[in-house]
Amino acid sequence: MVRQVTEARQETGPGPAGSGQAAAGSGRPWVMLVMATLGFAVNFWAWALLSPLAPGLMDSLKLTSFEQSLLVAVPVVVGSLGRIPVGALTDRFGGRVMFPAVSLITIIPVLYLGLAGHSSLPALLIGGFFLGIGGTAFAIGVPFVNAWFPPERRGLAIGIFGAGMGGTAISALTTVKEADKFGMQTPFVVMAALLAGYAVAAWFVLREAPGRTAPTEPLAKRLAATARMGVTWQMSALYAVAFGGYVAFSVYLPTYLKAEYQLSQADAANRMAGFVLLAVLMRPVGGWLSDRLGAVRVMTVALSVTVAGAVIQSFAPALMPVGTIAFLTMAAALGAGSGATFALVARLAPANKVGAVTGVVGAAGGLGGFVPPLLMGALWGSLGEYRIGLLLLSLVAAAAAVFTATTVRRAVATRQET
């Protein structure tokens, strides 16, 4: 009986048992979810500003394929690694403080890039480094949303929050058009205004879940404890493939389509936006299906579909219809898999460590998207094709599917039995 009460308190989040369920009975959790999702979308929009502009910057600054890949990869790696401390800080200070703070800090590199930092590769890399701060917003929202919803609804809630990654689609659809029509500085100035507006709104609207208690242990000690948990590394491995694959395509797809299919910069950016949009829509679907069918099953199917799509695309088929179908199928699978991963995190991680676990897992996902663009750029520069890179993706996804069906399945079964 004592064990059951303890488990109930862990599942419902910090504070009195049942506080998550009680909160979910009102409308406030959905208001918090909407605001968190908006914050994620706006910061991800800022995080992805350089990717749509990369092909044009490559031409104007005479960049090599590797330099262009490095330009879009630097914000990814910084935003990924930054999630580790930001997730732990969210456990300590809460989303109401961290969402406005990260949004306001991100304004600085956004304005720097728009007004002064886009005239040379070193300046772009410096701005891109600090632009990565916007990518840490993910590690704020997962523990914040998780605390507002009961276990049986967390898959859907976190999946909806994860749809905020659609900020990259907005960036793809608007950045190049704004820069072409009004000048390079315009998309960055608009972004700075949006970040400032969100920071103010978040401070007045966001509230922490009832009964939330902040951990008292030092940051380093909490991160060390998180690193010793098996769930941290199991979910990191899966997210590095699912979300890492999404990130890699979202930042490198315009370059890939321009090189492989000779599309214009605007056409390639629009197609990348379609890829991102489908992945975004499938993320809450993946969470919802995980609540009903089990996250292990959803994850295994998603990874298997990714394998098939990558193998087909490795042969560089005609873009219409086979190439388009292959990419959209992978987008749907990677989006659903990303949603399933955090349905597993919500179930397996202790409630008072969700932020820290999310930080490490989110970092792994972002880092999973850092290597492929560099690899693809190097392969194109040396071999003039992308086949090896896509085949490597299929092998990694296949290994992750087997890992999910065996090791992760056993971990879930053990958690359910205790």
pLDDT confidence of residue 15: 38
pLDDT confidence of residue 374: 74
What tens digit of pLDDT does each residue of 142-169 get?
A: 889 988 988 778 888 988 998 888 888 7
Going by the DSSP 8-state scheme, the letter that residue 94 receives in this structure is -
pLDDT confidence of residue 7: 36
Average pLDDT for residues 184-211, to the nearest whole number?
95
Confidence band for 309, pLDDT divided at 50, 70 and 90: very high
Tokens at residue 110, please?
Answer: 């956004």
**CATH code for the domain of 205:** 1.20.1250.20
pLDDT confidence of residue 418: 60
Can you tell me the distance from the alpha carbon of 185 to that of 118, in angstroms, rounded to the nearest whole number? 9
pLDDT confidence of residue 417: 62
Is 235 within 8 Å of 341 (Cβ atoms)? Answer: yes
Residue 79, CA distances (Å) to 46, 134, 359 in order? 11, 7, 10
Can you tell me the distance from the alpha carbon of 78 to that of 35, in angstroms, rounded to the nearest whole number? 24
Q: For residue 266, which of 121, 58, 67, 56 has the smallest C-alpha distance?
A: 56
What tens digit of pLDDT does each residue of 4-45 get?
A: 334 333 333 333 333 444 444 568 999 999 999 999 999 999
Residue, of 141 and 57, whose pLDDT is higher: 141
Residue, of 23 and 253, whose pLDDT is higher: 253
pLDDT confidence of residue 105: 97
What tens digit of pLDDT does each residue of 267-280 get?
A: 887 888 889 889 98
Residue 2 covered by a domain: no
How far is residue 117 CA from its own chain's centroid? 25
Residue 24 covered by a domain: yes
Residue, of 12 and 88, whose pLDDT is higher: 88
Residue 1 covered by a domain: no
What tens digit of pLDDT does each residue of 385-400 get?
A: 888 889 999 999 999 9
pLDDT confidence of residue 20: 47
The total number of structural domains in the chain stands at 1
pLDDT confidence of residue 10: 38
Alpha-helix residue ranges (DSSP H) falling in 206-229: 219-227
Residue 4 covered by a domain: no
Q: Is the pLDDT of residue 114 over 70?
A: yes
Q: Is the pLDDT of residue 284 over 80?
A: yes
Residue 243 covered by a domain: yes
Domain limits for position 130: 10-417
State the chain's maximal CA–CA distance in angstroms. Answer: 68
Q: Is the pLDDT of residue 370 over 80?
A: no
Q: For residue 211, which of 351, 69, 104 has the smallest C-alpha distance?
A: 351
Residue 219 covered by a domain: yes
Residue 139 covered by a domain: yes
Residue 3 covered by a domain: no
Q: For residue 240, which of 400, 43, 60 has the smallest C-alpha distance?
A: 400
pLDDT confidence of residue 11: 36
Lowest mean pLDDT across 105-109, 337-341, 380-384: 380-384
